[in-house]
Amino acid sequence: MEKFDTMTGVAAPFPIVNCDTDKIIPARFLKTLTRTGLGKSLFDAMRYDPKSREENPDFVLNKQAYRNAEILVAGENFGCGSSREHAPWALLDFGIRCVIAPSFADIFFNNSFKNGILLITLPQEEIDKLMQDAENGANARLTVDLQDQEITRPDGSKVSFEVDPFKKHCLLNGLDDIGLTMQKVEKIDKFEGKQKAATPWLYR
């Protein structure tokens, strides 16, 4: 997966509380097994009119200032509901690399990190400040520095955040579960060599 170190991008305000994974990517779009192409269906029920399929002009990501948003400043309990990995896939395919919220659902939280999305948990008072920044439209650019664990606001002030050291290591180095496994390929090959010699019938 793509490494995450420092990024500067437009932040979109998304103050919806308890935004579940079905809102993020409705169940009817889960037929695909690939990680691409889901961005167009992100927040489908909110982005499009259900009958005409035209864009809802009032939805934040349809507004010109936020069409290329890379950061979401969201409400509490973001990503609750069913445990669908398509939810972070849809966010990433749209271009969202970071979500900042007061809290996240556990399964969504872990799935996002495994797919290269940085989730940042902050107290509500800090979220309120960043939400105000995000509401400034095209000027709503935040810089997220994972190495130093800081968010730089448009006025230059900084907000510190905590992140699990292992998840930080994986993001900084672009390591998903397969990447972590491949770091041990020599040990795996050595084990398989010994196993093949001791139990050759397993390899017939």
Query: Do residue 110 and residue 187 come from a single domain?
Result: no
pLDDT, tens only, 61-77: 999 999 999 999 999 99
Query: Do residue 100 and residue 76 come from a single domain?
Result: yes
At residue 194, the pLDDT reads: 77
Asked whether residue 158 is assigned to any structural domain, the reply reads yes
Query: Do residue 145 and residue 165 come from a single domain?
Result: yes
Contact yes or no for 151/120 (Cβ under 8 A): yes
* Local structure of 114: helix, strand or coil: helix
pLDDT interval class at 177 (50, 70, 90): low
At residue 34, the pLDDT reads: 74
Task: Look at residues 113, 168, 146 and name the one whose alpha carbon lies nearest to residue 8.
Answer: 146
* Between residues 37 and 70, the one the model is more confident about: 70
At residue 31, the pLDDT reads: 80
* Domain membership of residue 166 as a residue range: 6-173
Query: Do residue 192 and residue 93 come from a single domain?
Result: no
| Range scoring the smallest mean pLDDT among 32-46, 88-102, 156-170 | 32-46
Query: Do residue 199 and residue 161 come from a single domain?
Result: no
Q: How far apart are CA 198 and CA 94, in angstroms?
A: 50
Helices and strands per DSSP (H, E), number in the chain:
8, 7
Exposed / middle / buried, residue 190 (Cβ in 10 Å: 0-12, 13-18, 19+): exposed
Query: Do residue 101 and residue 199 come from a single domain?
Result: no
pLDDT, tens only, 115-170: 999 999 999 999 999 999 999 987 789 999 999 999 999 999 999 999 999 999 99
Query: Do residue 151 and residue 184 come from a single domain?
Result: no
DSSP state of 185: H
Task: Look at residues 77, 89, 101 and name the one whose alpha carbon lies nearest to residue 19.
Answer: 77
